[in-house]
Structure 1
Amino acid sequence: MRPIRFLAVAATAFLMAAQSPAADVYLVANPSLGLGEDDIRDIYLGDKQLANGTRIVPLDNAALQRDFLEKALKMDGAKYSSIWIKKGFRDGLNAPTVKTGDAEVLAAVKSNPGAIGYVSAPPKDLKVIAHY
């Protein structure tokens, strides 16, 4: 009976996690970087690499990546990875660097004028490009 009880508890936990509300996602950049919400997809899929002569450095946030991909890019992680594997072989591009959470993303965006990333709360000193 214990294995059945364990499976029931595991299945319930999985269903609750799958149905949990998605987190807010704020896409942020240095205020001097001239980007708009319509640029996001092109940036995160490697199709746009410059803005006003500045090299764009997209950053992924491991803690919010699933929500960002679903809301902003309308795809899942497998599709996103597949796109970047093809871009790596075909175009020699590297996928966005993955940071562990908001603090790392914010530090990287603040220290690099071309960086763009997504976090769970809007910072006061960076430009919010989009909110999902």
Structure 2
Amino acid sequence: MNHKRIALLAWLVLAGTTALPALAADLYVIANPSLALTADDIRDIYIGDKQIADGVKLVPLDNSAQQKDFLEKVLKLDGAKYNGIWIKKGFRDGLNAPAVKSSDAEVIATVKSTPGAVGYVSSAPKDLKVIVKY
């Protein structure tokens, strides 16, 4: 039993140290290839001020694995302020906050298959449009 605890503790320490470099990783904002967006559009999309581009309804996606970095680097907001913006948008304008995906792979798959989708990931996919790198 004691060996299992030591192995678990070692695994947790190793997992924690390998996750640290990801905190400083780059972020790539990606979009469905049908969209023509600029870096200036990203903030407006993620706070609900821009909802249509090229005649297509925009579908912003949050990535739970990268959200904290995205909010800090791109939107210059913390999680509470971001959620507050969307609560107000929901009551005032009837808008829904971006859907939250759990990983880069899930964001990439959704962006590929959804016209109007915009998301952010930690590494640039080869087959999708990168709008901006942070």
The TM-score normalised by the length of structure 1 is 0.83
Runs of 4+ deviating beyond 3 Å: none
Give the whole-Å Cα distance in 1 for the aligned partners of 2:97 and 2:103: 17
2:91 corresponds to which residue? 89
Give the whole-Å Cα distance in 1 for the aligned partners of 2:56 and 2:84: 27
1:64 maps to 2:71 = no
1:112 corresponds to which residue? 114
Instruction: For residues 90-121 of structure 1, give each alpha carbon's deviation from its aligned partner in whole angstroms, at most 9, with x where no partner exists.
Output: 11100000000101100100001210000010
How far residue 32 of structure 1 moved from its aligned partner, in angstroms, is: 2.0
**RMSD between aligned alpha carbons?**
1.6
SS at match of 1:75: coil
1:24 corresponds to which residue? 26
Contact preservation (8 Å) 1:84, 1:94: yes
**2:42 counterpart (40, 48, 62):** 40
Gaps of 5+ in 1: 1-12
SS at match of 2:81: helix
Gaps of 5+ in 2: 1-12
SS at match of 1:48: coil
